[in-house]
């Protein structure tokens, strides 16, 4: 396949891909408001595929053991993933793609977050890079194949999923419906680098209990807030213990100052400054890496903090790491393809969690993460993606398809 021809076809379709991205940003697909976007995208993409099917989220998925971040009285009411397929024309290797339809709410100071605009060859707005710019990239990839009149020699499956931001419930539905593929690429903002190691995350809630009382009777009170501080110190100890092991096991992270971030994000306690509180609720996120699994982390944390006065729960987001060896054919082929699209690509580590583990760990499919834009602006009031990133990412993916399974 001629590389220059791919670039020319992609260039021809850039304006339409940017308009699609702007239309997607205008749809406020925060959690609970995701019904419209998959249906809209279906109308824009189905003409370039052999099939485009809405996969309705069943209400029963909330009972799944791996369901993340349950909400009381929450209903999906027909919200759906979108599965797009190109059937193979030959007998070559298959590939699965994944990216997400949902976005986080607007940031403080981000006025008109869902009114996109273009400035300095960048598209701004909520979801511009996380991950609606990735949707535009996949649309552009499919449009390029259609315009060139070429077919994949292996099956292509693309899942546009709900609820990545709250733990990956849309990709959980992909797992439960089963998917077979020789490799997977999850599109997220990676600055066009090929990410083969993604950290995991365990979100936790700890309740500490004390004995309430007046500040003038310190001998008869136990501050639940002080107990929560003890818990924080214990969790810090667990992090240091596990990080030492991971640094030895995973050389890729040796240059990172904080590859396993621990965040204490919320602490609520008390209703009066001069009274010891009887309850404190602490919430946070524990980042981790191989060789540990989420069950290992949960066990370590429970051992460190559970007592008569404390209880820890893991009822929100719990993701394993995703790891594919750097010398794997998938990683090397994606690197070569990106470089052929004028990207200075390297094998990288992502210090955040995403849906990649659903593929690599739960479906046992070798997986990398790739896409334009940067996590440094995702979820921020300055969220944007360079139009050139969309162009280069789409070109890299078309070239990858040719090298991975062949196009004819």
142, 145, 122, 144: which is closest to 133 by C-alpha? 122
38 shares its domain with 179: yes
226 shares its domain with 185: no
159 shares its domain with 211: no
8 Å CB contact between 48 and 145: yes
Point out the least confidently predicted range of 44-53, 211-220, 240-249, 393-402.
Answer: 211-220
Q: Which residue matches tokens 């989420």?
A: 294
Q: How many domains does the chain have?
A: 2
Name residues whose C-beta falls within 8 Å of residue 49's C-beta, 6 or more positions apart in sequence: 84, 85, 86, 142, 158
8 Å CB contact between 55 and 173: yes
- Distances in Å between the Cα of 247 and the Cα atoms of 198, 242, 253, 278, 383 are 14, 9, 7, 39, 32
The three-class DSSP label of residue 142 is: helix
Check which CATH number belongs to the domain holding 162 and give it.
3.40.630.10
123, 102, 183: which is closest to 372 by C-alpha? 123
Name residues whose C-beta falls within 8 Å of residue 74's C-beta, 6 or more positions apart in sequence: 32, 62
307 pLDDT tier (thresholds 50, 70, 90): confident
Residue 252 has pLDDT above 80, yes or no: no
Q: Which of 319, 345, 365 is the last residue of a domain?
A: 319
12 shares its domain with 146: yes
Q: What is the per-residue DSSP string for 172-241? A: HHHHHH----S-EEEE---TT-EEEEE-EEEEEEEEEE-B-EETT-GGG-B-HHHHHHHHHHHHHHHHHH
Check which CATH number belongs to the domain holding 286 and give it.
3.30.70.360
| Mean pLDDT value of segment 86-104 | 96
Q: Which of 278, 295, 319 is the last residue of a domain?
A: 319
Query: Domain span at residue 394?
Result: 3-198+321-404
Look at residue 221 in the predicted model and tell me its pLDDT.
93
27 shares its domain with 154: yes
221 shares its domain with 122: no
Look at residue 243 in the predicted model and tell me its pLDDT.
94
Look at residue 249 in the predicted model and tell me its pLDDT.
85
- Distances in Å between the Cα of 39 and the Cα atoms of 87, 133, 165, 308 are 22, 18, 20, 50
The Cα–Cα gap between 378 and 249 comes to 30
Give the Cβ contact number of residue 248 at 10 Å: 10
Give the Cβ contact number of residue 352 at 10 Å: 16
Q: Mean pLDDT score of the chain, rounded to an integer?
A: 95
Q: Which of 319, 338, 358 is the last residue of a domain?
A: 319
* Strand 367-370 versus strand 213-214 pairing type: unpaired
165 shares its domain with 21: yes
Running DSSP on this structure, what letter comes out for residue 251? G
The Cα–Cα gap between 127 and 219 comes to 53
153 shares its domain with 276: no
124 shares its domain with 240: no
The partner residues of 337 in beta bridges, in order of sequence, read none
The pTM (predicted TM-score) of the whole model is: 0.94
127 shares its domain with 261: no
| Mean pLDDT value of segment 3-15 | 95
Q: In the chain, pLDDT over 90 holds for what percent of residues? A: 90
| Mean pLDDT value of segment 77-86 | 98
191 shares its domain with 233: no
374 pLDDT tier (thresholds 50, 70, 90): very high
What pLDDT digit, counting tens, does each position of 149-163 carry? 999 999 999 999 999
88 shares its domain with 171: yes
8 Å CB contact between 377 and 203: no
- On the CB side of 113, CA atoms within 13 Å amount to 20
Look at residue 315 in the predicted model and tell me its pLDDT.
81
The Cα–Cα gap between 151 and 91 comes to 12
């Amino acid at each position: 396949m001629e590389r220059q021809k791919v670039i020319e076809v992609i260039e021809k379709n850039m304006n339409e891909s940017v308009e699609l991205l702007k239309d997607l940003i205008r749809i406020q697909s925060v959690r609970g408001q995701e019904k419209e976007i998959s249906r809209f995208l279906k109308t824009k993409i189905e003409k370039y595929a052999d099939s485009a099917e809405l996969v309705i989220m069943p209400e029963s998925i909330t009972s799944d053991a791996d369901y993340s971040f349950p909400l009381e009285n929450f209903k999906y009411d027909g919200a759906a993933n979108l599965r797009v397929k190109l059937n193979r024309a030959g007998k070559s290797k298959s590939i699965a793609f994944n990216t997400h339809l949902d976005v986080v709410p607007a940031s403080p100071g981000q006025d008109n977050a869902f009114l996109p605009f273009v400035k300095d060859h960048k598209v701004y707005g909520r979801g511009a890079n996380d991950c609606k710019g990735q949707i535009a990239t996949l649309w552009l990839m499919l449009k390029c194949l259609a315009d060139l009149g070429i077919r994949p020699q292996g099956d292509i499956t693309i899942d546009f999923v709900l609820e990545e931001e709250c733990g990956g419930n849309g990709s959980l539905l992909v797992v439960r419906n089963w998917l077979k593929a020789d490799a997977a690429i999850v599109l997220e903002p990676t600055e066009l680098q090929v990410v083969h190691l993604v950290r995991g995350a365990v979100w936790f809630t700890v309740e500490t209990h004390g004995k309430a009382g007046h500040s003038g009777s310190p001998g008869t009170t136990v501050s639940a807030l002080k107990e929560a501080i003890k818990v924080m110190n214990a969790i810090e100890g667990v992090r240091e213990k596990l990080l030492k092991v991971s640094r030895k096991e995973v050389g890729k992270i040796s240059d990172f100052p904080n590859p396993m971030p621990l965040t204490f994000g919320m602490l609520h306690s008390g209703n009066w400054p001069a009274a010891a509180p009887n309850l404190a609720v602490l919430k946070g996120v524990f980042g981790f890496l191989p060789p540990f699994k989420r069950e290992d982390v949960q066990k370590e944390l429970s051992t460190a903090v559970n007592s008569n006065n404390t209880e820890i729960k893991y009822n929100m987001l719990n993701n394993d790491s995703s790891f594919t060896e750097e010398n794997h054919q998938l990683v090397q082929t994606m690197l070569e393809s990106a470089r052929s699209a004028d990207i200075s690509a390297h094998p990288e580590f992502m210090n955040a969690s995403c849906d990649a583990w659903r593929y690599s760990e739960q479906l046992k499919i070798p997986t990398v993460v790739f896409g334009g834009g940067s996590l440094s602006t995702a979820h921020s009031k300055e969220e944007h993606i360079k139009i050139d990133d969309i162009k280069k990412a789409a070109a890299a993916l078309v070239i990858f398809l040719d090298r991975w399974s062949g196009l004819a």
